[in-house]
Amino acid sequence: MVDMTDGEPLGVAVVGAGYWGPNLVRNFRNARDWALVAVVDLDLARAQEVIGGGTEVLATTDLDEVLAREDVDAVAIATPARTHRVLVERALRAGKHVLVEKPLADDVESGRSMVEAARANGLVLMADHTYCYTPVVQKIRELVEDGSLGEILFVDSVRINLGLVQPDVDVFWDLAPHDLSILDFVLPGGLRPTGVAAQGSDPLGAGKACVGYLTLPLEGGAMAHVHVNWLSPTKIRQMVIGGSRRTLVWDDLNPQQRLSVFDRGVDLVQQSVDIADRAAATISYRLGDTWAPALPEYEALSRMVGEFAGAIRGERAPVTDGAAGLRVLSVLEAAQTSLRARGALVEVATETPSLELIR
C-alpha cells in the first residue's frame, strides 16, 4: 500500500465491466491520483476488453486474488445493486477503501450494514452519486448555500424518456436515485423529507412500475416532487427549484443554457388569520431578470474519482459518503412501502447522521 500522504498514486481495482464500469476504468486511468491495477468481472472477456492490449493492468475473475494484493488500496464496484453488500463488505474486510455505484444497496438494512462495516474498519465508503459532481449541480448547491434562492419553497424534478425496462428493479430504483441524491446534495441539511408518498403504474403489464411519481414533503412546509418514467417518447431532464428570492431551472438537455436563474417570485404581503378576511391578503409578483450562470466544463466522474482520493488521503468523509447513499435508500424503501399502501404518506427512517456532522 502507498503512503497516503506523499502524493504517490493510489492503487485501485474496478469490479464490474458491464455498461458503467468502463467509465470508471477510463477516469481512474486518466487521474494522476490513481493507478489502475486490475479489472474484475465474472466474464473475463469483458474485463479484458475494457483494459485493452499493451498494458500491465490485470484482468481477472478472481476478486480474492485482487483483494490480497498490497498495491490495491481501493476497490470501485460497478456490479448490479443486489451484489453490492457482499462485494463491499468483502473489500472492507480486506482493508480496502470502497467506492460503490448507486444505489448503495438494494435495501436499507444492507446499506446500514455496509456503512457500519466501513466505520468499524476506519475506511472510506463512498457512493458514486455522479450528478453531484457535475458543474451544474455544484453550481446549484452553491446558489442554495449562499442564499441566492432564499428559502426553498418547492422542487419539481422530471426524468422521463423511453427507458430500458430493467429485469430486476422498477423505475423508482432505476431513475429516482439520481434525483434523490441531487436533492440530498443541494438541500440544506440533506435529504430529510417528513414523509414519502409514491404512486406508480404499469400500463403495459411489465410486472413493475414503469411510470412513477414521488411526493416528498420537506420541513418548513416546502414540497419536492419527482416524476420518473420509462415510457415517454420525449426525453425530459428538468429540475425546478423555487425559492423565496429566486427560482432556478436546470434543463440538462439544453447545453446552451443548462441553468437559468429567475429573479422573480411571489410575495404574500399580508395574510389574515380570519378566513372571512382572506380577500384582504395581498399577493404581489416580483418581476426581474433571468440570467444564466457560467459553468465550467469537466467530466463529473473525473471530479468524483478525485473526491475519492481526497477522502482517502485526507481521512475525511467524501461529500457523497455511505451515509448519503443510505439517506437515498431510506427514501426508496419508504417509497416501496407507500406503493404497497396505494400511495399513502409513509415515514422515512431517519437514523442516519446529518450532513453537518460529516462535511
- Among residues 14, 34, 46, 132, the one that binds ligand NAD under rule CB under 6 A: 46
Given candidates 89, 101, 251, 307, which one binds ligand NAD under the rule CB under 6 A?
Answer: 101
Q: Which of 19, 275, 285, 287 binds ligand NAD (CB under 6 A)?
A: 19
38 is an interface residue for ligand NAD by CB under 6 A: no
325 binds ligand NAD (CB under 6 A): no
Minimum CB separation from ligand NAD for residue 177, in Å?
7
State yes or no: residue 67 binds ligand NAD (CB under 6 A).
no
Q: Provide the minimum distance between the beta carbon of 77 and ligand NAD in the complex, in angstroms, as a whole number.
A: 8
The helix/strand/coil state of 349 is: coil
HEC states along 261-313?
EECCEEEEEECCCCHHHHHHCEEEEECCCEECCCCCCCCHHHHHHHHHHHHHH
- 157 is a contact residue toward ligand NAD (CB under 6 A): no
**Which of 11, 12, 14, 16 lies at the binding interface for ligand NAD (CB under 6 A)?**
16
- Residue 42 binds to ligand NAD (criterion: CB under 6 A): yes
Q: Which of 85, 96, 102, 112 binds ligand NAD (CB under 6 A)?
A: 102
Contact (CB, 8 A) for 357 and 351? no
Q: Is 285 in the site for ligand NAD (CB under 6 A)?
A: no
C-alpha to C-alpha distance for 77 and 300, rounded to whole angstroms = 17
- For residues 247 and 286, give the distance between their C-alpha atoms in angstroms, rounded to a whole number: 12
3-state secondary structure of 224: strand
Considering the complex, what minimum distance in angstroms separates the CB of residue 190 from ligand NAD? Answer: 19
Judged by CB, which is closer to ligand NAD: 67, or 187? Answer: 67
* Residue 98 engages ligand NAD in binding (rule: CB under 6 A): no
User: Does residue number 21 form part of the binding site for ligand NAD (CB under 6 A)?
Assistant: yes
Which distant-in-sequence residues (6+ apart) come within 8 Å of 203 by Cβ? 210, 211, 231
Dist. CA 17–CA 156, nearest whole Å: 34
For the CA atoms of 227, 229, 232, 237, what is the dihedral angle to 10 degrees?
Answer: 50
Q: Note whether 212 binds ligand NAD by CB under 6 A.
A: no
Does position 171 interact with ligand NAD (CB under 6 A)? The reply is no
The three cell numbers of residue 82 are: 443486489
Q: In this chain, which residue has its C-beta nearest to ligand NAD?
A: 18
Rounded-to-integer distance, Cα 323 and Cα 116, Å: 10
Number of residues that bind ligand NAD (CB under 6 A): 22
Taking Cα atoms as reference points, which of 247, 256, 189, 239 lies closest to residue 218? 189
Chain residues that interact with ligand NAD, rule: CB under 6 A? 15-21, 40-43, 46, 78-81, 83, 87, 101-102, 128, 130
